[in-house]
A and B are shown apart, each in its own frame.
Chain A
Amino acid sequence: MEKIILKDIPDLDKIDVYLANGGYSAWKKVLKEMKPDDVIDEVKKSGLRGRGGACFPTGVKWGFMPKGNEKPKFLCCNGDESEPGSFKDREIFEKNPHQFIEGSLIAAYAMGIQSVYVYIRGEYWRWINIMEKCIEDAYSKGMIGKNILGSGFSVEMYVHKGAGAYICGEESSLMNSLEGKRGYPRVKPPFPAAVGVWGNPTTINNIETLANVPEIINKGGEWFSKIGDPKHPGTLLFGVSGHVNNPGVYELPTGTPLMTIINDYCGGIRNGKDFKMIIPGGSSMPPLTKEESLNMKMDAESLKAVGSAIGTAGIMVMDEDTDIVHVLQRITKFYYHESCGQCTPCREGCGWMLKVLNRIMDGTGRSTDLDLLISVAENIEGNTICALGDAAAWPVKWTVRKFRKEFEAKITKENIELPVLNKVHGLRKSDEYVSIEDETNPVVENLIGKVQEIQKNDKIKHFSS
């Protein structure tokens, strides 16, 4: 299988090697032969979808940008890559940085953009240095700058170093961070294509998305659209970690079976064990059970069909001895730490979920805690400005649902009073419970009576424990 991004050519980060291997030919072709709209059409034809997790068609996104030059326009390349289990952009910075630079230049040309900012997470000190060097080299060869190759088109490119905030991978938060503010996500609409950085039209693309663009221009959108799954074409950089023999980044066509990736490329599960759970696209995505994993194809549509998502294609594999409750506790701790604090459901809800998971881990969990976790998760989901709330809620909701037995095994303590409160809490949302308005229902009658009794006895410690 031919690789589009992680080619087997050594030293591609050196501009001379990249040029000798046909580098920047797409950029030259675009400047000489193509109009901006032709470039957008070609990308639309390729069917390229965003690689950051939302899988939005890239060509369509570019088409949202206003034509004309009344206002300056900006391109932000999202290299924040902080999703646990993802380490693909780092591989691009290291192995083929110029292809990404070329892709972002082509994107800038297609949308009439004069300033490109590459936002890289602060922890990637080494890769920031690589990118700064590569951009400097590209300037010295006349690929970036004023009146590039005599075409009359000018573009500047800068690296912006983050400082350790997961939330800045969210596009509107990234824009705030770039403006020198706290990384708070913005309410949408207005969307970035209308009001982005410094109030100007902006497009935000993932590093991997942009790295695909030069080959689409060189070989044509049609060629690209025939690779992998027709609805989600191209290759993905699968970052496999956890309990496999050969973890690493593997570039494979979309729709590659999960078991092929794990057994043929990663050498199977460590120590000849069986596996229990797989997270298919970074820690935010609902996990897969063994049964779901066996016939799973790794593309956006197949994963959507089972209620998960491709995310950043960071696959985390857990063997049969893994403590699922501990894994979920660690994931929730991450979101608790990274919630920016702007929306109450996410800020408070992540803390509540963590407290409940902590007590289950400590052995003081209650029989009703599992429904409580699902209830809190469902009240975060969809009630926040950005997707971090959903990202925190999904793993909790789906891990508890799919691996309920693992959680139940840790809960030994029965508590008579708390079920009452939990059920009242659950009444608001879940279909499994009766309506609280239905006071003639004996269950509700009984519940209300018990709640009043508890309130009288001042035993409501449920949410503060």
Chain B
Amino acid sequence: MNTENYTPVFDENELKTVQMHISKYPKPMAAVMPLLWMIQEKYGWISVESMRYVGDLLKLPHDHVLGVATFYSMYFKKPMGKYHLQICTNVSCMLCDGYKIFNHISDKLGIKNKEVTQDGMFSIEEVECLGSCATAPMLQINNKEFHENLTVEKVDELLDKLRNSN
């Protein structure tokens, strides 16, 4: 995770992947979402500089890339914690104590929605339904793994595990 602003550069292999994405669609503009995903995968978040970079790669106006990057909520426009915890509180999770899980994590880490802990380890976000309604409550980490059927104890264990994995 780059916490400071950065200037993105793709190496030769990554540029091949860029070409692969462009070749999937009739027009290069369509590759903007996969390319933004590549940037986020590599640098952890999407800086304005990298939106310009994607625009240049696809020969698109920079503001178009900015428009796309800001429209979609999974693209991070600022640095998040090393472990970004996305906790669902939508109806099915709420019925199964999703807010209890959210508040517990929030209190334990001492941060509110969309904030990052001082050591940069954790950030939390209240997210909308992630399609894990039968296994509620749940959270997702860094847009990837689902952790389902949570209890306060399981959350404590998970946080300890993540903290010690360094």
Tell me the A residues contacting B by CB distance below 8 Å.
72, 81-87, 89-90, 121-126, 158, 160-166, 177-183, 198, 239-243, 247-249, 279, 283, 314, 316, 318, 322, 326-327, 330-331, 334, 337-338, 340
Contact = CB atoms under 8 A, between A and B. Distances in A.
Contact of B131 (A82, A165, A243, A340): A82
A123 B74 contact: yes
A161 B73 contact: no
Contacts of B67: 181-182
Given A85-B92, A318-B95, A330-B89, A161 B33 contact: yes
A218 B86 CA distance: 43
Contact of A247 (B29, B31, B134, B146): B134
B128 A178 contact: no
A180 B143 contact: no
Given A84-B133, A86-B131, A198-B26, A165 B71 contact: yes
A120 to B, nearest CB: 11
- 10 cross-chain pairs, A with B, having the tightest CB-CB distances, nearest first: A164-B74, A163-B72, A241-B133, A84-B129, A247-B134, A241-B92, A180-B29, A180-B32, A182-B71, A164-B73
B128 A163 contact: no
A83 B37 CA distance: 23
Contact of A180 (B31, B75, B132, B145): B31
A82 B129 CA distance: 7
10 contacts: A84-B128, A85-B129, A87-B131, A164-B74, A241-B133, A243-B95, A247-B136, A248-B134, A279-B91, A283-B90
B109 interface: no
Given A122-B143, A166-B128, A240-B134, A161 B26 contact: no
A249 B134 contact: yes
Interface of B: 24-27, 29-34, 36-37, 64, 67-68, 71-75, 89-92, 94-96, 128-136, 140, 143-146
Residue from the set B32, B95, B143 with the largest chain A CB neighbour count within 10 Å:
B95
B134 A87 contact: yes
Given A180-B32, A242-B96, 5 more contacts: A125-B144, A183-B71, A247-B133, A334-B90, A340-B71
Contacts of B133: 84-87, 239, 241-242, 247, 314, 316
Contact of A327 (B27, B73, B94): B94
Residue from the set A240, A314, A340 with the largest chain B CB neighbour count within 10 Å:
A314
A191 B133 CA distance: 33
Contacts of A90: 131
Residue from the set B33, B136, B140 with the largest chain A CB neighbour count within 10 Å:
B33
Given A163-B74, A177-B33, A338 B128 contact: yes
A90 B148 CA distance: 14
Contact of B27 (A121, A166, A198, A337): A198
Contacts of A326: 94
B134 A181 contact: no
Contacts of B145: 125-126
Contacts of A121: 131
B91 to A, nearest CB: 5
Residue from the set B73, B128, B129 with the largest chain A CB neighbour count within 10 Å:
B129
A253 to B, nearest CB: 20
Nearest to A249: B134
A445 to B, nearest CB: 45
Contacts of A125: 143-145
A327 B91 contact: yes
Contacts of B71: 165, 182-183, 340
A181 B37 contact: no
